[in-house]
Chains A and B, each alone.
Chain A
Amino acid sequence: MRKMLFVLPLLVFTAVMFAQSGGLASVDGGGCFIQSLTAEDAPNDAGGGIDLTWTVAAGTALPDSMILERFDHDGIWSPISTLAPASGRKTDVGLDNDQEYSYRIVPFYNGAGEEPCEAVTAVPQKQWIHTGRIGMLVTLTLISLVIFYYIEHGKRGGKIYIRRIAGLTAVEDAVGRATEMGRPVMYIPGIMDMDDIQTIASMVILGRVAMKTAEYGSPLLVPTCRSVVMSVAQEIVKESYLQVGRPDAYQRESINYITDDQFGYAAGVDGIMVRQRPAAIFMLGTFYAESLILAETGRSVGAIQIAGTAMPSQIPFFIAACDYTLIGEELFAASAYLSREPKLLGSLRGQDIAKLFFMIVIVLGVLTATVGEAWEPATKVADFLKTITRVE
């Protein structure tokens, strides 16, 4: 529970920062055809932007065109945009923070500039908190608290049930089969780099698969599409071989880099498959159009294939061509499932609670939105739920 306390200052900080707001300058058009021109600091940015909004007065003679001008701290009125004579808005970007800028609109009749409309001023500022993401911050904080709670629960020895995931129970069988056949195990960690969450999840599973190959004494091939993934994979596999007491069996050169090119990588891996003929192939990570090419080739060499990805467009190909497929979040649950570490199981339980929360929000939102069509007050609940889940 002590870990939870760190989020309290964050919430207080958020509440304080939530009160921040940029200045708003506005003028009536006076005798000009512009009814009003407003300039205000662009919200939720790192500064350097001013939002401008203008409305054209009804019933006035409109110019042929108009030019929006900026008077900056260099002391010059400079045109920033030529506009059609209509109401509109524009964000002026690339400005210096905490400097005052003035704006005015100059009408043009028959190609000649007339007296400009009254100017407005604004100061661009940076915001530390993106107010449009407060809902996400609160949601993330709540989810984190629940996950922390269940991690603590798991660490204290609390029992956490985890259902059977067929693809993962088959890992040992697949490695065992490769050992019996005297053929290698191939692990393909997807085609994305280490900043991709699926690749990170894949690396954790690789550690577990490597432990099995080390125990059984099967060669492990890991062709990678990114040099950093290769380095991480080498470290993880080496660590796994050390953990099971087989550092001598670790072969660094079997974890290699092919190319960053998507189809170059697919061609290279296909070549390795048909020549080395692995008996078990794991394809876990982020895959795109190369997924079916790899899975089909793996099938053609008679390998048992376990695939997993959170890419919705590629899952169908894996389901069609592989023996087992981890669908979406099953990939992220795999590390907890394989290791049975209380910390990871607790995290998984916490995520389930988060899913339950989202389900409740959906059901409540749909019910209130539906009822709201006949009974107005219910709409407010639906609008509130839409607001807290809005992404900006």
Chain B
Amino acid sequence: MSWEVIGIWLGALLSLCLYSFLYKDNPFYKFAEHLFVGMSAGYWVIYTIMNVLIPNWWQKLVPMEGGFQPIWLVPGVLSLFMLFRLIPKLAGLSRLSLALIVGTGAGISITAMLQTRALAQVNGTIIALGQGGGWFNWVSNIIMVTGVVCGLVYFFFSKPHKGVVGGAANIGITILMVAFGASFGYTVMARISLLIGQTQFLLFEWLPTMGIHL
């Protein structure tokens, strides 16, 4: 029996174990779940050491070409503070590292969010309504601009959704729901194609290993 066949059998049996969850929680699902979680956790530990810790910290602290870069002791010490969470008396030090992570993350996100979720959207919406020519493009562009403006009105939190504001907000949420419906259908189709792929694996790769050809 080749390694390839062993791999196919392993994949097929674990797939069936996971699909058994569709019936109810059972020992087969538990086995596959624990194997999956355990292996992925172990994999990520090694991945983080090999692809983050060593190249991004250790090799910069002690470069291959020689020398010692003491500035890289700073992130090392901050990392050590995180491990101090295991020692109750020193656990408070980890808050310094956590504060740095959260503060940096929030700060960097400000510009990224403003760029991608505000300015880029505004820029993309500033178009001539007749752009593209023809009545269809006129209607499409009017729907798009109305949808964006009314969608923004829906996300007004400090104004009661009554009167004109309420009407615009209703149009906004209606257009959002239509968009969500389209997105839902599109993604369900993609998920079905994943199911078809896994079923094809079971039918056309696993079954032939038992001499069953469909």
> Given A163-B161, A358-B152, A259–B37 Cβ distance below 8 Å?
yes
Are A267 and B155 neighbours in the complex by a CB distance under 8 Å? no
Are A312 and B105 neighbours in the complex by a CB distance under 8 Å? no
> Given A195-B101, A271-B33, A260–B44 Cβ distance below 8 Å?
yes
B: number of interface residues (CB 8 Å): 68
Instruction: List A335-392 residues whose CB lies under 8 Å from chain B.
Output: 336-337, 345, 348-349, 352, 354-356, 358-359, 361-363, 365-366, 369-370, 372-373, 382, 385-386, 389-391
**One of A24-32, A99-107, A240-248, A323-331 at the interface:** A323-331
Residue in A200, A235, A260, A362 with the greatest tally of chain B CB atoms within 10 Å: A362
Are A319 and B30 neighbours in the complex by a CB distance under 8 Å? no
Say if the beta carbon of A68 comes within 8 Å of chain B: no
Chain A residue with minimal CB distance to B128? A369
**Min CB–CB distance A234 → chain B (angstroms):** 8
Contact partner of B109 (CB less than 8 A), chosen from A197, A292, A382, is: A197
Question: How many A-B Cβ pairs are below 8 Å?
Answer: 192
Q: A-facing mask of B102-124, CB < 8 A → 1, else 0?
A: 10111011110111101110110
Residue in B85, B111, B120, B122 with the greatest tally of chain A CB atoms within 10 Å: B122
Contact partner of B119 (CB less than 8 A), chosen from A136, A200, A355, is: A136
- A136–B105 Cα distance when bound, in Å, is 19
Say if the beta carbon of B25 comes within 8 Å of chain A: yes
Say if the beta carbon of A232 comes within 8 Å of chain B: yes
- Point out the residues of chain A lying under 8 angstroms from B106, CB to CB: 197, 200
Are A362 and B126 neighbours in the complex by a CB distance under 8 Å? yes
Contact partner of A359 (CB less than 8 A), chosen from B18, B85, B152, is: B152
Say if the beta carbon of A80 comes within 8 Å of chain B: no
- A313–B109 Cα distance when bound, in Å, is 20
Are B102 and A232 neighbours in the complex by a CB distance under 8 Å? yes
Say if the beta carbon of B208 comes within 8 Å of chain A: no
Are A317 and B85 neighbours in the complex by a CB distance under 8 Å? no
Are B104 and A352 neighbours in the complex by a CB distance under 8 Å? no
> Given A136-B119, A197-B109, A358-B152, A369–B126 Cβ distance below 8 Å?
yes
> Given A271-B30, A362-B148, A162–B125 Cβ distance below 8 Å?
no
Say if the beta carbon of A22 comes within 8 Å of chain B: no
**Min CB–CB distance A273 → chain B (angstroms):** 9
Are B122 and A389 neighbours in the complex by a CB distance under 8 Å? yes
- A203–B105 Cα distance when bound, in Å, is 13
Are B152 and A355 neighbours in the complex by a CB distance under 8 Å? yes
Are B37 and A389 neighbours in the complex by a CB distance under 8 Å? no
- Point out the residues of chain A lying under 8 angstroms from B158, CB to CB: 160-163, 345, 348-349, 352
Are B40 and A270 neighbours in the complex by a CB distance under 8 Å? no
Are A391 and B120 neighbours in the complex by a CB distance under 8 Å? yes
**Min CB–CB distance A390 → chain B (angstroms):** 6
- A153–B18 Cα distance when bound, in Å, is 55
**One of B1-9, B65-73, B175-183 at the interface:** B175-183
- A203–B25 Cα distance when bound, in Å, is 30
> Given A161-B159, A316-B183, A362–B125 Cβ distance below 8 Å?
yes
Are B119 and A267 neighbours in the complex by a CB distance under 8 Å? no
- A277–B82 Cα distance when bound, in Å, is 32
Chain A residue with minimal CB distance to B113? A197
Say if the beta carbon of B184 comes within 8 Å of chain A: yes
- Point out the residues of chain A lying under 8 angstroms from B108, CB to CB: 195
Chain B residue with minimal CB distance to A192? B105
Chain B residue with minimal CB distance to A392? B115
- Point out the residues of chain B lying under 8 angstroms from A348, CB to CB: 157-158
Say if the beta carbon of B200 comes within 8 Å of chain A: no
Are B187 and A313 neighbours in the complex by a CB distance under 8 Å? yes
Contact partner of A373 (CB less than 8 A), chosen from B33, B125, B128, B184, is: B128
- Point out the residues of chain B lying under 8 angstroms from A197, CB to CB: 105-106, 109, 113
Are B98 and A232 neighbours in the complex by a CB distance under 8 Å? yes
Smallest CB-CB A-B distances: 8 pairs: A195-B105, A365-B126, A261-B40, A264-B40, A316-B184, A260-B44, A197-B109, A259-B41
A–B complex contacts, Cβ < 8 Å, 28 sampled: A136-B119, A139-B118, A160-B158, A161-B159, A163-B157, A194-B101, A200-B102, A228-B98, A231-B85, A232-B102, A257-B41, A259-B37, A259-B40, A261-B40, A267-B36, A268-B33, A315-B183, A316-B181, A330-B155, A348-B157, A349-B158, A369-B126, A370-B128, A370-B129, A370-B130, A386-B123, A389-B122, A391-B119
Given A140-B110, A264-B40, 10 more pairs with CB closer than 8 A: A136-B114, A163-B158, A163-B159, A264-B37, A330-B155, A345-B158, A354-B118, A359-B149, A366-B129, A391-B116
Chain A interface residues (CB < 8 Å from chain B): 135-136, 139-140, 143, 160-163, 165, 193-197, 199-200, 203, 228, 231-232, 234-235, 257-261, 263-265, 267-268, 270-271, 274-275, 292, 312-313, 315-317, 319-320, 327-330, 333, 336-337, 345, 348-349, 352, 354-356, 358-359, 361-363, 365-366, 369-370, 372-373, 382, 385-386, 389-391
